[in-house]
Each structure stands twice: as C-alpha cells, then as structure tokens.
Amino acid sequence: MIDLHYVATANGMKIAIMLQELGLDYRVINYGLFEGEHLTAAFKRINPNNKLPAIIDHDPAGGGDPLPVFETGAILLYLAEKSGRFLPAGPRDRAVAQQWLFWQMAGLGPMHGQAHHFLRYAPDGQDYGKTRYANEALRLLKVLEYRLAQADYLAGEYSIADMATWPWVGGAALIDIDITQFPAMADWVERVGARPAVQAAVAGKDTAVPPEYLQKHAVLTPEQWSNMFGEKLLAASDLR
Ligand SMILES: N[C@@H](CCC(=O)N[C@@H](CS)C(=O)NCC(=O)O)C(=O)O
C-alpha cells in the first residue's frame, strides 16, 4: 500500500498518473493548499520541504520500515525502479528519459510555476517578473515542441518523463499560451491524454483538479496569501 499525500495540481497529477499506470494499491490523503494544511510538523516529517505531493511506501523496495519519498522526480524514479516500468532498460535510452525528466524538474516545472505565480497570483504591476517568466515558459514549450517533432514520446517510448511533463503542459492555457501553435505537442497531449490510466487520474474522485485551482486570476484572502506565499509559509520552515 502506498499513501499519496496529494494536492490536485500539476505536480500531484504526475504521481496520480504513475500510480494509475502501475495499477498499485494506493490511498489519497488530500491537502488544501490555500488552507495551509501542508504546513504542519506532522507533514514535515514526511517532507521536510513541506511541499506536495509525497508518498509513503508501506512495502518499500528492499524491505524495512515504511519509506517516505518527496520531490516528484524522485518519486517517479523510485516507482519506476521498483516496478521495472516506464524507464527504459538500456543505458542509452535510460539516459534520454532521465535527461527529459530532469529538464522538466529543473526547467519546465519551476519556470512555469513562476509564470503561474506572476501572471495569476501576484499583485498588479510586476512587469519585469511577468515578462521574464512568460518568455521562459514559452521558450521551454518551444524546446518541447522541437523534441516531440522528433519522437512520439520524450524518451522515444512512453516514460516517466512524459508523466512529469504532460500535466504542466495542460496548464499552459492558464498562463495564456495556446498550445495549438505547437502541432507535435498538441498531438502528444492527445496521445498521452487518451491513455486509460491518465484519464483515470484526471477524472479520479480524489485526484481530479478542482475548479478553484483553475482560476485564471486567483484572488486570495489575506490568510490564504499567508499560507501560500507569506508568513505562514515561511514559518513552516521553523516547525519542529
Ligand atoms: N519540486 C517539487 C515541487 C513541489 C511543489 O512546489 N508543490 C506545490 C504544489 S504543486 C506545493 O506544495 N506548494 C505549496 C507551497 O509551496 O507551500 C516537486 O516536484 O515535488
């Protein structure tokens, strides 16, 4: 059994997809981000970074105590290695899959995350930040289009690199990027989205993205702001 400590965002969706693909037994523990439900000492013992998602594997690879794993790239790699699936076996193909996974983790995810922050959440103004991250978000999608014009999937075959990337591309419209301008990417979005496991994760009663996370311009209460970006968030790093 795997516990999935979850919020229905692009990062959460990566792991919901992988667990569905693997057909593993898992239970979802949902957290409200706006409510700051992840900013607790109890959750910090699972993820010292107080970010979602994280898993606890009660039957870990190699045996022993239940194993908590955080950071979506690490979770995907852990589950792929444990199951022997969705990560190519040969060193050459495996390197390609990992390179695109790390590209998502270090590039597309954080840069799109900042674009979402500046375009959807930040107070009015902020033109430098808005332009900087909107440009970078677009540039990274051009990189993705370049790759997907060469191959049906990021690693040639469907892998954890696609699972990491697909949910973020799905959020591009929220930062005013129309992906129909990228034909190879639009086909890949459909191809990945047609997989039964992906559809099950997207529509799952515990894993579907709720409408409040899809608002183009989110207006937060002072308390929600503090939980998401302010004092409460900062204070979580002092929790013991
Ligand atoms: N690099 C991390 C990012 C995790 C992350 O930023 N999660 C967001 C939700 S998508 C979160 O927990 N935000 C709440 C916060 O920053 O307090 C990963 O891939 O796991």
Q: How far is the CA of 187 from the centre of ligand 1 (A)?
A: 28
What residues are paired with 68 via a beta bridge? 56
d(CA 54, CA 3) in angstroms, rounded, equals: 8
Q: What percent of the chain has pLDDT over 90?
A: 98
Contacts of range 58-61, beta carbons closer than 8 Å, 24 or more positions apart: 58/1, 58/2, 58/3, 59/1
Judgement on whether residues 22 and 43 belong to the same structural domain of the protein: yes
- What was the pLDDT predicted at 212? 86
d(CA 27, CA 30) in angstroms, rounded, equals: 10
Judgement on whether residues 77 and 106 belong to the same structural domain of the protein: no
Cα end-to-end distance, the chain, whole Å? 28
């957290």: which residue's tokens? 31
- What was the pLDDT predicted at 27? 98
Domain span holding position 222: 2-85+214-236
Q: What percent of the chain has pLDDT over 70?
A: 100
* Residues within a 6 A CB radius of ligand 1: 7, 9, 11, 33, 38, 51-52, 71-72, 233
- 71-93 tens-digit pLDDT: 999 999 999 999 999 999 999 99
- What was the pLDDT predicted at 148? 98
Judgement on whether residues 66 and 148 belong to the same structural domain of the protein: no
- 27-75 tens-digit pLDDT: 999 999 999 999 999 999 999 999 999 999 999 999 999 999 999 999 9
Judgement on whether residues 25 and 77 belong to the same structural domain of the protein: yes
- 93-131 tens-digit pLDDT: 999 999 999 999 999 999 999 999 999 999 999 999 999
Any idea what the Cα angle at residue 209 is, between residues 206 and 213, rounded to 5°?
135
53 prior amide bond cis, ω within 30: yes
Instruction: Give the residue-averaged pLDDT of 205-227.
Output: 94
CB contact burial 191-224 (16+ within 10 A = b; e otherwise): bbeebebbebbbebeebebeeebeeeebeeeeeb
What CATH number does residue 35 fall under? 3.40.30.10
- What was the pLDDT predicted at 169? 98
């311009």: which residue's tokens? 217
Q: How far is the CA of 152 from the centre of ligand 1 (A)?
A: 28
Instruction: Give the residue-averaged pLDDT of 211-232.
Output: 93
- What was the pLDDT predicted at 35? 96
Q: Which amino acid is residue 121, in one-letter code?
A: Y
- What was the pLDDT predicted at 122? 95
Judgement on whether residues 80 and 95 belong to the same structural domain of the protein: no
């997907």: which residue's tokens? 148
Which of 80, 66, 97, 47 has the alpha carbon at shortest distance from 1?
66
Q: What is the pTM of this model?
A: 0.97
- Quote the number of domains for the chain: 2
Q: How far is the CA of 72 from the centre of ligand 1 (A)?
A: 9
pLDDT surpassing 90 at residue 218: no
Residue nearest to atom 12 of ligand 1 (CA): 51
Judgement on whether residues 65 and 12 belong to the same structural domain of the protein: yes
pLDDT classification of 231: cutoffs 50, 70, 90: very high
The average confidence (pLDDT) of the chain is 97
Backbone angles phi, psi at 6, to 5 degrees: -135, 145
Judgement on whether residues 101 and 191 belong to the same structural domain of the protein: yes
- 168-205 tens-digit pLDDT: 999 999 999 999 999 999 999 999 999 999 999 999 99
Residue nearest to atom 14 of ligand 1 (CA): 51
pLDDT surpassing 90 at residue 206: yes
d(CA 41, CA 44) in angstroms, rounded, equals: 5
Question: Has residue 206 been placed in a domain?
Answer: no
Q: How far is the CA of 150 from the centre of ligand 1 (A)?
A: 31
